[in-house]
Amino acid sequence: MEGNSEGFIPDIVEHPIVHVSQRYDWDCGLACILMVLGRQERQKFLSNFRRICDEGQFGESTWTIDLCYILNDFNIPHKYLTTTVGANPKHRGNDYYKSYTLDMVRVNDKFRHAEQSGIDVKQCSVNYRFLIDHLGTYGNIILLTSASMLFCDLCKLNKLPCELRSCLSITPSYMGHYIVLCGYNKRIQKFMYRNPACNDKVCYIPYQALDKARKANGTDQDIILLYDKTS
């Protein structure tokens, strides 16, 4: 699937969003949703956090399809791109997916009812130019990445500490981690992103490095494209 450019795409784009840090070692995806909600919606989510988790039936194991159902409940226009529709059986032996057997029924059921629930799921793989086109035309992106492959060039340049929580512990195996892609800079060939495991700041990562992190084995190249309600 190629880019979705519909005209002029600026050289530099940064969507301003409120940074939200995750509170636990499992809620990075939920923190990403909180970042893209409006102020009133964010407060509503925070006030009903446990109820929303209970109704989603995911406990402390959130999959991308779970996030889509929450976005849908908050009337946030989005589209879910993935290379695997349903729970990928290849993940059964992955240490990160230790609750795969329990999750499988819920995840497959949510995929099965996605269309009738108003959730747009498309099976495909995209390149980084597609992400740039979306950021320059429509809005932010929630990405599933491999935690150990994420880094920030800005932090390295300025020798700033990035206080990572346990979900970003560097391990040899795959560890899924959600971030919000919020911009890019064509001049330096880097994406901008908000990392819920870090303090309030915008991180920078080269195009190709992000591509490796989001296409790592275990991610199914999961992408949630967000659309401004005015688009």
Residues 172-199 pLDDT 10s: 467 899 999 999 999 999 999 999 999 8
Mean pLDDT of the residues in the chain: 88
Residues 23-39 pLDDT 10s: 998 999 999 999 999 99
pTM of the predicted model as reported, rounded to 2 decimal places: 0.90
pLDDT at 110: 97
CA distances to 24, 104, 213 from 151, rounded to whole Å, are 20, 31, 10
SS (H, E, C) 108-158: HHHHHCCCCCCCCEEECCCCHHHHHHHHHHCCCEEEEEEHHHCCCHHHHHH
**CB of 129 closer than 8 Å to CB of 202:** no
pLDDT at 4: 45
In angstroms, the CA 133 to CA 126 distance is 11
What's the rounded mean pLDDT across residues 38-50?
Answer: 96
In angstroms, the CA 144 to CA 215 distance is 9
**CB of 84 closer than 8 Å to CB of 220:** yes
Looking at per-residue pLDDT, the higher value among 70 and 229 belongs to 70
In angstroms, the CA 35 to CA 14 distance is 14
Residues 49-68 pLDDT 10s: 999 999 999 988 999 999 99
Residues 82-96 pLDDT 10s: 999 999 888 887 778
Confidence band, pLDDT 50/70/90 cuts, at residue 134: very high
Is 210 buried (19+), middle (13-18) or exposed (0-12) by CB count in 10 A? buried
Looking at per-residue pLDDT, the higher value among 157 and 37 belongs to 37
Q: Specify which residues 176 forms β-bridges with.
A: 146
pLDDT at 103 over 60: yes
In angstroms, the first-to-last Cα distance of the chain is 21
pLDDT at 102: 87
Task: Please report, for the chain, how many H helices and E strands are present, in that order.
Answer: 8, 8
